[in-house]
Amino acid sequence: MKKHTFTKLALGIVAGLTFGANTLLADSIHPISREMGSGTRGAFVEIFGIQKEVKGKKIDATTTKAEVTNSTGVMITSIANSKNAIGYISLGSLNDTIKALKVDGVAPSVENINNKNYKISRPFNVVTKAGVDSTLAADFLAYAINAKAVIEKAGYIANKDSKFSSKKPSGKLVIAGSSSVTPLMEKLAESYKSVNPNATLEILQSDSTTGINSVLDGIADIGMVSRELKEAELKKGLKVQVLATDGLAIIVNKANALDSISKESVKKIFMGEVTKWQEVK
């Protein structure tokens, strides 16, 4: 009787372990995306082909089951607090609370973007209203675009590195837009104050589309845009300059055993075609 009881107990433990393992393997993936209007979402959707064609036009096809967050900070916190979550953020915003996955075996890094091995990158653009002459805006942007040391220390890729001499104009600049560009812009603004103490810079974090509209509506002097501008936006009278180049990192919870993911799997996850971790390649 005791032997029989022990056998049943052992079988029960084995069955429980098997059930637990299968449950773990069958855990549903929890995709987290950015809000509509986010430049990071726009770039992500375009780079990974998360689109469908409607009447000859490609539109965002992110699954409606994806959780939506409204900033880089919220995205990071959401991923850090959910063991089955997967999302995406700016390379420069990575920290040790989450894990960045290799994509097709290549790690996201400034070095790998520079040597063209990691191809998931996008421009950080700044926009101003064409025809509006602002000495202060021109002075700040001339500084910011050439501030290679500040840009690279922040984890991004500088596109220019020319000598700069400020004319030290006075006044106030309002800079609005992308939450992905904001951390870099804050560092550039702080650094600029040491070059030109006569300037006051106010940074309003939102999203890329809001940044563009704020400039067009005269609410902001400079807009921060973390994607390519659309033809329709350019036709409204915007001057565009590239501030820096940034990579997009695919992130998961630190407890996730996954180390690398294929670009195709990322696409299928965010289109709702792959929903279980055991299906990921």
Q: Are residues 105 and 169 in the same domain?
A: no
CB within 8 Å of 145: residues ≥ 6 apart: 126, 159, 160, 241, 242, 243
CA pair distance 228, 222, nearest whole angstrom: 16
Of the chain, the end-to-end C-alpha distance in Å amounts to 48
Partner residues linked to 240 by β-bridges:
127
Q: 241 lies in which domain range?
A: 122-247
Specify the CATH number for the domain of residue 109. 3.40.190.10
Q: Are residues 158 and 51 in the same domain?
A: no
Residuewise pLDDT in 10s, the chain (281 residues) = 444 444 444 444 333 333 333 334 458 999 999 999 999 999 999 999 999 999 888 999 999 999 999 999 999 999 999 999 999 999 999 999 999 999 999 999 999 999 999 999 999 999 999 988 899 999 999 999 999 999 999 999 999 888 899 999 999 999 999 999 999 999 999 999 999 999 999 999 999 999 999 999 999 999 999 999 999 999 999 999 999 999 999 999 999 999 999 999 999 999 999 999 999 98
Q: Which DSSP category does 273 fall into?
A: S
For the chain, the farthest-separated pair of C-alpha atoms sits apart, in whole angstroms, at 94
Give domain status of residue 9, yes or no.
no
Query: Can you give the pTM of this predicted structure?
Result: 0.83
Give domain status of residue 10, yes or no.
no
